[in-house]
Amino acid sequence: MIKKVHFMGIGGSGMSAVAGIAQEMGYKVDGCDINLTSPYLAQIKDKIRIKKGHSPAHVNVEDILVVSPAVYYKYPPEAELAKNKNPITWEKFLGTYLHKGKEVIAVSGTHGKSTTTALLSLVFEAAGFDPTVMVGAKVREWEKNYRVGRSNIFITEADEFYENFLNYTPEAIILTNVELDHPEYFKKLGWLTNSFKKHVRSLVGKKILVANGDDLAVRKVVGAMAKQKLGIETYTYTIRPAKGKHEDFRAKILSRSPEGAKFKVFFKSTGETEEFSTKLVGDFNVSNVMAVIALSSLYSIKPAVITKVLKNFTGIGRRMELVGEKNGVFVYDDYAHHPTAIRETIKAVKQKHPISRIFAVVEPHSYSRVAKLLKGYTEAFSEAYSVIIAPIFKARDTENYGMSEEKLVGLIKNDRVNTYDSFDKIAEVLPKELKKNDVVLVMGAGKSSDLAKMIIRAL
Given a contact cutoff of 8 angstroms between Cβ atoms, the answer to whether 42 and 100 are in contact is: no
**CA distance from start to end of the chain:** 55
The answer on pLDDT for 219 being more than 70 is yes
- Name which residue leads in pLDDT, 79 or 112: 112
Q: What predicted TM-score, i.e. pTM, was given to this entire model?
A: 0.97
Residue pair 386/359 in contact by the 8 Å Cβ criterion: yes
Within 13 Å, how many C-alpha atoms sit on residue 284's CB side?
Answer: 25
Tens-place pLDDT, residues 256-266: 999 999 999 99
Residues 389-412 as b or e (16 or more Cβ within 10 Å = b): bbbbbebebeeebebbbeebeeeb
Q: Which of 438, 212, 252 is nearest to 331 (CA)?
A: 438
Query: Cα–Cα distance between 18 and 16 in angstroms, integer?
Result: 6
Q: How confident is the model over 439-454, as a mean pLDDT?
A: 97
Alpha carbons 205 and 97: distance in angstroms, whole number:
18
Query: Under CATH, what is the fold of the domain 99-312?
Result: UDP-N-acetylmuramoyl-L-alanine:D-glutamate ligase (3.40.1190)
Other C-beta atoms closer than 10 Å to the C-beta of 227 total 7
* Domain layout of the chain by residue ranges: 4-89, 99-312, 321-458
Q: With pLDDT > 70 as the criterion, what percentage of the chain qualifies? A: 97
Q: What is the dihedral of CA 210, 212, 216, 217, to 10 degrees?
A: -50
pLDDT tens-digit readout, 107-151: 999 999 999 999 999 999 999 999 999 999 999 999 999 999 999
CATH of span 4-89:
3.40.50.720
Mean confidence (pLDDT) of the chain: 95
Q: Which of 71-80, 154-163, 169-178, 211-220 has the lowest mean pLDDT?
A: 71-80
Q: Rounded to whole angstroms, what are the CA distances from 27 to 2, 94, 110, 177, 379?
A: 6, 12, 32, 35, 48
pLDDT beyond 50 at 78: no
Q: Centre a 10 Å sphere on the Cβ of residue 73 and count the other Cβ atoms it contains.
A: 12
pLDDT tens-digit profile of 242-300? Answer: 888 899 999 999 999 999 999 999 999 999 999 999 999 999 999 999 999 999 999 99
The whole-number average pLDDT for the span 350-377 is 97
How far apart CA 255 and CA 260 sit, in angstroms, is: 8
Rounded Cα distance between 155 and 124, Å, is 9
* Nearest-angstrom CA–CA distance, 327 and 347: 24
What is the residue type of 185?
Y
On the CB side of 172, CA atoms within 13 Å amount to 20
Q: Which residue in 222, 205, 221, 121 sits closest to 169, CA to CA?
A: 205
Report pLDDT digits (tens) over 396-420: 899 999 999 999 999 999 999 999 9
Q: In CATH, which of 1.20.1260.10, 3.40.50.1820, 3.40.50.620, 3.90.190.20 is domain 321-458?
A: 3.90.190.20
